Structure 1
Amino acid sequence: MTHTAAIIGGGVIGGGWAARFLLNGWDVHVFDPDPEAERKLGQVLANARRSLPGLTDVALPTEGRLQFCTTLQGAVEHADWIQESVPERLEIKHKTMAAIQQVCRPEAVIGSSTSGFKPSELQAGAARPEQIMVCHPFNPVYLLPLVEVVTTPQNGSERIDVVKTLLQGVGMYPLHLKKEIDAHVADRFLEAVWREALWLVKDGIATTEEIDDAIRYGFGIRWAQMGLFETYRVAGGEAGMKHFMAQFGPALKWPWTKLMDVPDFNDDLVDLIAGQSDDQSGAYTITELEQIRDNNLVAMMRALKTQDWGVGALLTKHEDHLRESGTEPQPVDHTAPVVTGNRVVPLDWTDYNGHMNEARYLQAFADATDQFMAIIGCDAAYIAAGGSYFTAETHIRHLDEVNAGQIIRIETTALGGGGKKLHLWHEMYVAEKMIATGEHFLLHVDLKTRKPSPASPAVDSALKEWVEAHGERPRPEGAGRAIVSSPPR
């Protein structure tokens, strides 16, 4: 079933929502009277298409259909989710919500991207207040998973559960705030840091660049993977949180912050901060800065995925969801090559030439080998019991380029095997174009002795079934080939 999202207001945040839904297979209807809306949203989508697929090792669903609507009714009347991202003025939001509720389905979700207003304020005077809640994201919405879901008792637990499920289905993390407050939670932290930063610049303690360096090279990375309280708990050492609080609690009485006292936001302060920011970042265009930001976010979150920690664990969970929802059981055809890989090429798999580097070809083929091993029964349980295959020899041919964002498919043929041996042939494709081949010879090993040993009867029988069936096929062109240097002249 294809879901439909209606995006009301297609600016930076609305465009980010559109990209998040669209690239996760939703149809998206956009309503924005700005004559430049389509162009602006197109730029956001270009960034999202370039970076979002690189977060996962599973291909995203087929992109949904994007439609720009000339009327609000056309955008929302069939929508399952309606995301309001109009300017932060309560009267505008009330007018927009009222217009939406006149023509939308009663069961549709109406989320507001507001960073400051409480849901009770948005619901005031609404025809169906139970439909409306705060769903406050963070820029860029298509990459950052956090959504502050702020509700009132009007919304009801069943509707809130639906909202959480839909957000999780597009790879987001719904943080449900059951008690409302102005600016929610995350922006209140940001506001506190912002106020202190203004004083540090005004008093000449640090420049804008020095303050940013303090965050990005220090606690910002810690917060990204562990948050505030868990970070402090670890800082307490073996004695834990109590020790940390006993040691650093008295500092709360010291004059370390001007949090409750804000400097005059006058022209002198604005010019000072703007000038320092120009010195810091003026060498780059906004588009270049956005791409640098996206590259860094993808690399950072993929790195956390290898540790299955924080946002990395969330990515792994989303990959499992994509696998479960995007694949259906297929009948086994032993006469055809078996598909052992179907994934996107992420940004961090490319090199200085702009295409996938040599090591990643090997990784992709190694993953395909692992998948074939699992197909014949040499899976995680079998390996845990003490048996596995070790690669003894590999030969890769690089036939064409493959770039970040492209989906690669690997088809595998069993050239030979039985007893201790396994001989595989992999072909890598982008659509129907062959990009590379990999030939791999492996030996079955007893993990206790670390020496070659025969595979179990079940694994051996399953392998021989594939070898026999694939043996009826023509031998692949290039199989058994070695590198031959040109003769000297």
Structure 2
Amino acid sequence: MTRTAAIIGGGVIGGGWAARFLLNGWNVIVSDPDPEAERKIGEVLDNARRSLPALSDVTVPQEGNLSFAGSLAKAVADADWIQESVPERIEIKHKVFAEIQANCRKDALIGSSTSGFKPSELQEGASRPEQIFVAHPFNPVYLLPLIELVGNAGTTARAKSVLEEIGMKPLIVRQEIDAHIADRFLEAVWREALWLIKDGVATTQEIDDAIRFGFGLRWAQMGLFETYRIAGGEAGMRHFIAQFGPCLSWPWTKLMDVPELTEELTGKIAEQSDAQSGRYSIRELERIRDDNLVSMMRALKARNWGAGALLKTHDERVKPALPTELDQPLNTLNRVIPIDWTDYNGHMNESRYGQVFSDAGDVVMRMVGADEAYIDGGLSYFTVENQITYREETHAGEAIFVRTQVLEAKGKKLRMYHDMCRTSDEALLATCNQLLIHVSLETRRSCEPGPEVSARLDALHAAQSKLPEPESLRES
């Protein structure tokens, strides 16, 4: 059964929430009095559709239905999850929560995107205070997985389960605290950056360069303490603290003293920021940001580390079942082409076609029982020949599917023919005639498959042999 999320407030954060839920198969209803809300959310969704599916190597859920409600009451009436993302003014939030609770289900989850208010502040005057909790995300919500959850233990436990299902990393904050956890770090860095600019030590670009070319790269994949544990060498964290701890008492920072945001300082920051990034529109910067995040997170995914490990787990959760209709061409792969698969010509690099067809062949291997357990037992298939033809260009963000037919499955040989097609119009993009040989991983030489695999291969080939030869193969 498809679930529904009501998004109250369709700004940058609300739009990101809408995209995260919608692209994970939820129906989404948006309530926002802004007459431009539909356009703004549509633009955020355009970016999300381009980037979020590219994090996945399996079929992504079918997109839910998006609608815009004429009133808040209509938006929340049947919602399973209600996400408040209105301006950070407590009187506005109290008014919104009162209207939500007057019209929503008693079992609905009501999260607030607030970056600073505590749940007890949000719950003041609420008819069901335990229903309201903090669900603080990070922009872009549709890509960055962290969500800080603060509130009633039972409510946040339910929320955690939902968020994990849509590929996020819920962090339950142990106790109420102003600005939760992550923003306290961000505010400390922000204060120090303001002083560096005010005192003429660094510009906005120099500060950003210090982060993105230095510790920001380390933090992105290891965080703070794991990074510094390595800095301690073989002696570990204790040695690091002994070596660098004394500097904490030195007067380096001004974290307890905040410069006044005068018109002069504000203007200085704005001018430097314009010089740094003014040549890009906001949407261009968003796409650059999204492409960089996708590439970094996919790199971590290949190493099964940090946010990448979370992506692998989510892929396993949503991975589709193996094809069961053996007397039809097999649908072996559905995916979106990620940005890091493209080359200097602006289209998919030829090496990635090999990966697509290899992944499609792996599906057939799993169908006949040549799965991870089989490989761990010392037997597998090796590709010995790929004949790939390129028909049309393939670009980043395009959804593709692979249609596979088994042409030969006798003894040690397994030959498959793959058509790679664009999902939107089924245009043929590439083909591959692939020959695999069964091998012993111990001797690294060809050998006969195990009896169970052989039996499944016979059944698959018997069904597939009744199909006509693929049209694209006849044309080649």
Q: Is the 8 A contact 2:388 2:433 kept in 1?
A: yes
1:351 alignment counterpart: 343
**Contact preservation (8 Å) 2:58, 2:333:** no
SS in 2 for 1:133: strand
Cα deviation for residue 481 of structure 1 reads 8.6
Secondary structure, counterpart of 2:14 in structure 1: helix
What is the distance in 2 between the residues matched to 1:269 and 1:421? 72
Cα separation, 2, equivalents of 1:458 and 1:28:
46
What secondary structure, in the 3-state scheme, does the structure 2 residue paired with 1:449 have?
coil
Is there any run of 5+ residues in structure 1 with no aligned partner, and where?
483-489
1:264 aligned to which of 255, 260, 267? 260
Q: Deviations over 1:13-34 (max 9, x none)?
A: 1111111111111111111111
Per-residue deviation, 1:104:
1.1
Cα distance in 2 between the residues matched to 1:227 and 1:436: 42
Counterparts of 1:478 and 1:100 in 2: how far apart (Å)? 56
Q: Which residue is 2:436 aligned to?
A: 442
The alignment's TM-score, normalised by the length of structure 1, stands at 0.93
Q: How does 1:71-470 map to 2 (within 5 A)?
A: 71-151=71-151, 155=152, 157-323=153-319, 327=320, 332-431=324-423, 432-470=426-464
Residue 478 of structure 1 and its aligned partner are, at CA, apart by: 4.9
Output the CA distance in 2 between the equivalents of 1:372 and 1:328: 12
Gapped regions of structure 2 (runs ≥ 5):
none
For the residues of structure 2 that align with 1:98 and 1:343, how far apart are their CA atoms? 43
Give, in whole Å, the separation in 2 of the partners of 1:388 and 1:321.
Answer: 25
Alignment partner of 2:251: what SS? coil
Structure 1 residues 451-460 or 56-65, which shifts more?
451-460
The one-letter code matched in structure 1 to 2:303 is Q
Q: Distance in 2 between matches of 1:340 and 1:76?
A: 39
Q: CA deviation at 1:208?
A: 1.2
Aligned partner of residue 308 in structure 2, secondary structure: helix
Secondary structure at the counterpart of residue 333 of structure 2: strand
Partner of 2:35: 35
Q: Is the 8 A contact 1:59 1:407 kept in 2?
A: no
* CA displacement 1:98-130 (0-9 Å, x = unmatched): 111111111111111111111100111111101
CA distance, structure 2, for counterparts of residue 26 and residue 263 of structure 1: 45
8 Å CA contact 2:322, 2:363 repeated in 1 = no
Partners of 1:406 and 1:458 in 2: how far apart?
A: 38
CA contact (8 A) 1:30 1:69 kept: yes
The number of equivalent residue pairs is 474
Scaled by the length of structure 2, what TM-score is found? 0.95
Residue 424 of structure 1: SS of its match in structure 2? strand
- SS of 2:25's partner is coil
> Could you tell me how far apart the structure 2 residues matched to 1:480 and 1:51 are?
36
Range with bigger deviation, 445-454 or 187-196: 445-454
How big is the alpha-carbon RMSD for the aligned residues of Structure 1 and Structure 2?
A: 1.8
Greater Cα shift, 21-30 or 340-349: 340-349
Separation in 1, partners of 2:49, 2:326: 36
Q: In structure 2, give the amino acid aligned to 1:79.
A: A
Question: Residue 470 of structure 2 is aligned with which of 466, 469, 476?
Answer: 476
Letter in 2 for 1:351: D
Secondary structure at the residue paired with 2:99?
A: helix
SS at match of 2:434: strand
Query: CA 1:329–1:421 in 2, change beyond 3 Å: closer, same or farther?
Result: closer
Shift of the alpha carbon at 1:451? Answer: 2.2
Shift in Å, 1:475: 2.5
Moved more, 141-150 or 405-414: 405-414
Looking at structure 2, the residues matched to 29 and 473 of structure 1 have their Cα atoms a distance apart, in angstroms, of: 45
How far apart are the structure 1 equivalents of 2:191 and 2:325? Answer: 64
1:68 aligns with 2:68: yes
> Cα gap change, 1:169/1:372 in structure 2, threshold over 3 Å: closer, same or farther?
same
How far did 1:219 drift?
Answer: 1.0
On the 8 A contact 2:133/2:156 being kept in 1, the answer is no
**In 2: Cα distance, 1:480 partner to 1:244 partner:** 67
Amino acid in structure 1 at the alignment position of 2:395: N
| Corresponding residue SS for 2:227 | helix
Letter in 1 for 2:226: E
CA contact (8 A) 1:123 1:129 kept: yes
Other structure's SS at 2:170 match? strand
SS in 2 for 1:83: strand
Q: Is the 8 Å Cα contact of residues 394 and 441 (structure 1) preserved in structure 2?
A: yes
Specify the code of the residue in structure 1 equivalent to 2:470.
P
The equivalent of 1:486 in structure 2 is none
Aligned residue for 1:361, secondary structure, equals: helix
Q: Which amino acid aligns with 1:415?
A: L
Aligned to 1:343, what secondary structure does the other structure show? Answer: strand
Structure 1 distance, partners of 2:413, 2:179, is: 63
Q: Distance in 1 between matches of 2:400 and 2:41?
A: 28
Cα distance between partner residues in 1 of 2:459 and 2:185: 61
